[in-house]
Amino acid sequence: MLRARHLPQATRHALHALLIYGSLCAVVGEWFPFTRVPMYAVLRNQARSQAAVPVVLVDGERADIRHYERFAGPDPADIEPWYRCRANGVCRSYPSSDGTDTFYAAWVRDHRARADDPPGPVRVDIGYLLLTARPDGRTYDEELEVVWSGTAWPVGR
């Protein structure tokens, strides 16, 4: 019968680490340096019928928000993801699978125009490209929903 002591020493150490570290990960969960590595595991039982891609448009074209500063416009909290309600009381959430909307909100908040800044030369629209699955489950309808509009200056101008 093969026993652990019959294994090469290097393999024995690796096996011990796998068993101990794996057990700790299963018990502790998501706390560095432990993890159950749940990447996309819930795609199966938490299927989405709609995806929301955060986008930044400058004068109608997709752009990198980091190239702009001195944003003038409404409260950037309107850009925040998760559950939000409009002024008319209509509430909805945005099923975005990445965190760039949080980054956009933080960027606008950290690069606001001062009170004495003139309006920027470019129009900035921040929102979500909504991808809704059609009945065949493989093709999608696309719709842009803007959640924040304002002006900004290119960095350095």
- Nearer to other proteins by C-beta: 80 or 151? 80
Residue from 130, 134, 132, 133 nearest 143 by CA: 130
> How far is Cα 129 from Cα 131, in angstroms, rounded to an integer?
6
Residue in 45, 87, 89, 114 binding other proteins, rule: CB under 8 A: 45
Residue in 3, 5, 6, 44 binding other proteins, rule: CB under 8 A: 44
> How far is Cα 9 from Cα 35, in angstroms, rounded to an integer?
26
- Coil, helix or strand at residue 25: helix
Residue in 59, 98, 143, 145 binding other proteins, rule: CB under 8 A: 98
Stretch that binds other proteins, among 29-37, 68-76, 111-119, 149-157 (CB under 8 A): 29-37
Stretch that binds other proteins, among 48-56, 69-77, 113-121, 146-154 (CB under 8 A): 48-56
Which residues touch 127 (CB under 8 Å, ≥6 apart)? Answer: 54, 55, 57, 144, 145, 146, 147, 148
Interface residues with other proteins (CB under 8 A) are 8-19, 21-22, 25, 32-33, 35-48, 51, 53-55, 62, 97-100, 102-103, 106, 129, 131, 133, 137-140
